[in-house]
Amino acid sequence: MDSHNVQRIVVNGMVKNEGDVQLRGISPYPVAYRSITPKATECTNLLVPVCLSAKQVSVTGVWKKEKAGAYGPSYLKANSGPGRVKFSPVVQRAGSYHIYVYCPKIEGAADKTSIHIFDGREVKKQEIRKEQIQVVGQTSGEWVSLGLVNLPKGENSYLEVISTAEGGAVVADAVLFVAQNHRNE
């Protein structure tokens, strides 16, 4: 829990912290979960990016685990040679999904990264060019949109980050699938 003093006061010539809930014997005030959860009618335009889960990430080729500059605790980096990192989501509900890939800005990055998206029927090939990654603020990279893709329910879809034998380092970090027009039902 993140807790801070409300104020500091002087009592009998000594500075005392007031409102500190970290003292033993004092519990934080409980807040019921239902009091912070909106009703379905109060959030009809709410997007929920957690409506599916990643069942599997498979790796082929030589990828090195890097810890600095990732979206999460680490990312995979291929410096040379062919390879693939395949993200296989479990889609809970068929429909249209905005797909984003997190691209850390790294030294020696390839001029382009190839992405293959399988929608259950066909592979769609895309590229992310190095100049598309414009880091703004205090982040180490940027979420790059790959557009809107219709995905079937189940485990038939995937996204692959492709490394080729030349052109610089390729990174596979995080992938986000955001349901379009998902309503809290």
Q: Among the listed ranges 6-10, 26-30, 155-159, which one has the minimum average pLDDT value?
A: 26-30
Decide: 106 and 172 in contact? Cβ < 8 Å. no
Q: Residue 89 and residue 52: Cα distance in Å, rounded?
A: 7
Q: Domain residue spans in the chain?
A: 7-42, 52-179
pLDDT: which is higher, 80 or 145: 145
Check if CATH label 1.10.260.30 holds for domain 52-179.
Answer: no
pLDDT of residue 51: 43
| Mean pLDDT, range 165-177, rounded to an integer | 85
Whether the per-residue pLDDT at 83 is higher than 80: the answer is yes
Whether the per-residue pLDDT at 95 is higher than 80: the answer is yes
Decide: 158 and 118 in contact? Cβ < 8 Å. yes
